[in-house]
Chain A
Amino acid sequence: MLLIAEQCLNGLQFGLLLFLLAAGLTLVFGIMDLVNLAHGSLYMVGAYFAATFAALTGSFLIGAVLALVATLLVGMAVEVIALRRLYGRDHLDHVLGTFGLILFFNELVRLVWGPAGRTLPLPSWLNTALEIVPGLYYPTYRFAIIVVTLAVAIFLYLLVMRTRIGMLIRAGASNREMVGALGINIKLLYTLVFGLGAALAGLAGLMQAPILTVQIGMGENVLILAFVVIIIGGIGSIRGAFIASIFVGLLDTVGRAFLIDLLRVVFSQNAASTAGAALSSMLIYVVMAVVLVLRPEGLFPVSSK
């Protein structure tokens, strides 16, 4: 029972991290109609920056903040230098161009940081466990991730729903030409939106760094999941991304644990582990396939342009 609760929390935490990635992706896609495969690279860059800055400054928090700022700057630089020329083009061009950026970033990271991964150790005050309910202990850090990402989600909600910029974002998501016709400085808006997306990706990268990994190519696997999330949730919809990422996170974590337990009845631990992982990964894609067949616009589509 407690194990299920813990798995659920893990699933929630993973889902929320996924949300950070998906939110940035869906914003950029919804507003600039840009398919950005290199979003995962920003996630990776965030993690690497965090590892380096934390080591340099000796403080996890300062390192995290610096990494966030650095990723934001890198994101905006990439937008200005490379990506803005892709706006309005075929999605295939986006896919190709940003695929090229992935290659570039992976190699750049390898050049600067070397082929071996990095680690980002947790400070002692985070490396504890909280007693959430009597008897259930949960790692403080994971709990912190949940809190931080929920806070970001609320911030995003307020930003999109309650501010002028948010209104422009929503308007842009449903009718790009109109926003341009209104005379808003589109270029600046786009750069800022992209920067926001980059910051979110970097935040996700640096937060998962202590518990998962900091290595080259780490962005790609989770990027695909993020795309699955925004397809299920509906492109351009942050609300959809939120719900879909929680769902996918739970499905992945809880589903995997459940499947492994189920398979362990028949198979060895090792076989059950790999098979369970494979099946649960497949499960997510199966769900996406079903959504695409039944409701191609996603579960919470933004009304079309």
Chain B
Amino acid sequence: MKALATPRGMVVAVLLIFLALLPVYAAASGNAFLLTLFTRIVILAIAATSLNLIMGYGGLVSFGHAAYLGVGGYVIGILAKEGITSGFVQWPLALVVSGLFALVVGALSLRTRGVYFIMITLAFAQMIYYVAVGLDRYGGDDGLTIYRRSQFAGLLNLSNKTVFYYVCLILLMAVIYVCWRLVNSRFGLVVQGARSNDRRMRSLGFPTFRYRLTCFVIAGVLCGLAGALLANHTDFVSPAMMHWTRSGDLIVMVVLGGMASSFGPLIGAVALLVLEETLSGVTEYWQIILGPLLLLVVLFARGGIDGLLAGGRRA
């Protein structure tokens, strides 16, 4: 409760309360668009949180993380097209496939570090992007419409926007909690140590590769979950979901919100998407502002919003 007294704690608390009450507010003000926007924000926050796991805590900058959004989403889309709409089958499969993809990509990419790692993860994302483009049967470049959302045997009606929103929000909270526990566990300390000084970790006796790979896979699985949610949200999947600029967006969210903090990615997702919405109201060419803004954040506010709230202590 002491944490609540800090500026950062208060902002997070207010944000959480706002998110919890959003559907009520949206219904009351008749603004359905708000619910759609924030569902998207919550889903992307899950993806950003998973990226933060490997990037903020693990020091692994993956420029191909949106690939898992795509993989998760396409599993849902492909299964739906083939007539399998049960969420009980789709969602676990989405997680497993994302995990396997992450395993392969990680096993190869983690042999590199620094910018090589960035580029090779980008390359793998491009590969899966081109695979999706080449999938004629599933829409190719035009994408694939999903006519029926994941069915949960009547327990959850995902077609109800409010229900769906709360499902996403609860999953987001669960993911944030799980990541928090993960990061402070023995496993998490190894991953953080490896980010801080991999050489030292190995000389202490840690076989760091296997821990980083596990972390990478976990992040991939969590992002695959976000992908499954996104597919249900937009009733549509397309290769654009995994375009490398989407990966860039995720990275921006994590950095903007504050790396290596539990709620940073959520704050970043909110900040980025709200910024997009407001700026595009101001001018059609809002990215002209966003671009340099990003550069300024990198140069002067490296700890992101979370860092600013915490008093700028963060490096």
Contacts and interface: CB of A to CB of B under 8 A. Distances in A.
Given A104-B291, A220-B244, A224-B123, A277 B111 contact: no
B21 interface: no
A101 interface: yes
B290 interface: yes
A86 B63 CA distance: 19
A275 interface: yes
Interface stretch (A55-63, A164-172, A186-194, A278-286): A278-286
B116 interface: yes
A151 interface: no
Given A95-B63, A104-B288, A107-B287, A288 B120 contact: yes
Interface stretch (A66-74, A140-148, A289-297): A289-297
Contacts of A111: 285, 288
Interface in B86-139: 108-109, 111-112, 114-116, 118-120, 122-124, 126-127, 130-131, 133-134, 136
Nearest to A102: B291
Interface stretch (B31-39, B158-166, B167-175, B293-301): B293-301
B119 A274 contact: no
A227 B302 CA distance: 26
A97 interface: yes
Nearest to A98: B295
A299 B118 CA distance: 19
Q: Number of contact residues on A: which range applies? A: 35 or more
Contacts of B9: none
B251 interface: yes
Given A292-B116, A296-B112, A96 B294 contact: yes
A277 B118 contact: no
B291 A107 contact: yes
Interface residues of B, number: 43
A215 interface: no
Contacts of B116: 231, 292, 296
A277 B134 contact: yes
Contacts of B288: 103-104, 107-108, 111
Interface string A86-128: 1000011111110111111111101100000000000000000
Contacts of A108: 285, 288
A269 B184 CA distance: 55
Contacts of A289: 108, 120, 123-124
B292 interface: yes
A271 B136 contact: yes
A227 B290 contact: no
11 contacts: A91-B61, A95-B63, A99-B252, A227-B123, A231-B120, A275-B134, A275-B136, A278-B130, A282-B130, A285-B123, A292-B108
Interface of A: 29, 35, 82, 85-86, 91-97, 99-108, 110-111, 220, 224, 227-228, 231, 270-271, 274-275, 277-279, 281-282, 285-286, 288-289, 292-293, 296
